[in-house]
Amino acid sequence: MSPLTNILPGFNRTSAACGDACAAENAQTVRPAYKVNETTDAYTVTVQLPGVAKDGLEITAEDGQVRLVGRRAWKTPEGWTSLYRETADAAYELVLTHDDAIDAEKIGAELRDGVLNVTLPKSEVTKPRKIAVS
């Protein structure tokens, strides 16, 4: 991550491109911190989504893209005045583009303590194959 986006969260923002309904709700989204790891048969993406519950999370896979939108479950209760803020109320949005070598049917996701683990299994076609010589 660029240091600039660390200092100014605003630089991190991308506009939500999920239709009018979404845009009306909140146009600004924040890109969460994430990490991609590769193993022999899958890619694993670890995304930090503090404040997001299972219900507020949407993962869609289409056309070589995996889109992830996380809405925060917590809203400032009535009577609370904010004195100092470092976090944003905006939803998280992360779009990862891949080369279609992923088996979209078998994508798995697990959310625990604000950390999401997504497993993107590589499709059988692209896996290295051993050819028996006859």
Partner 1 sequence: MRFIRYALPAARNFAPALGGFSRSAWSGLETEIDRLFETAVGGATAATRFPVDLYEDKANTFVRAELPGVKRADINVDLVDGVLNITAARKTPPAAEGQAEQTVTLSRSVRIADEVQADNVAATYENGVLTVTLPKRQEAKPKKFTVEVK
Contact 9, 16 (CB under 8 A): no
Q: Which of 15, 26, 39, 60 binds partner 1 (CB under 8 A)?
A: 39
Tell me the sheet residues that pair with 13: none
Q: How far is 44 from 102, CA to CA, in rounded Å?
A: 11
Q: How far is 78 from 15, CA to CA, in rounded Å?
A: 28
- Region 40-79 residues binding partner 1, contact defined as CB under 8 A: 48-53, 73-74, 76-77, 79
User: 83: which 2 tokens?
Assistant: 């004195």
* Shorter beta-carbon distance to partner 1: residue 2 or 134: 2
Q: Which of 14, 15, 26, 37 binds partner 1 (CB under 8 A)?
A: 37
Q: Using CB under 8 A as the criterion, which residues of the chain lie in contact with partner 1 when the complex forms?
A: 2-3, 6-7, 37, 39, 48-53, 73-74, 76-77, 79-87, 112-115
